[in-house]
Amino acid sequence: MARVIGAVVVDKEECKGCSVCVEACPHDVLALHFEVNSKGYHYSYMKSPEACVGCANCGVVCPDTCITVYRTKAS
């Protein structure tokens, strides 16, 4: 059976590091990076990309609309 696999792209300059997406992710994919962006925010990134199923919860809750979500079936 094909497994659903996803990936997210965070516009790290737009991210304000609120970590609402980190909380919303059901598979603990996201975390705040130890580095900061030019505004000084610890931006969100895929810490465990292999766990992502592309459910888009992170994108849906993001107040700054800086997350784009992709999903496909693993080949």
Give the residues lining the site for another protein (CB under 8 A). Answer: 5-7, 9-14, 16-20, 22-24, 33, 41, 43, 45-46, 49-50, 54-72, 74-75
- 16-34 burial, b if ≥16 CB within 10 A, otherwise e? bbeeebbebbeeebbbbbe
Place of tokens 């895929």: 46
HSE-CB at 43 with a 13 A cutoff on CA atoms is 18
Minimum CB–partner distance for residue 12 and another protein (Å): 6
Closer by beta carbon to another protein, 28 or else 64: 64
Minimum CB–partner distance for residue 68 and another protein (Å): 5
Minimum CB–partner distance for residue 16 and another protein (Å): 4
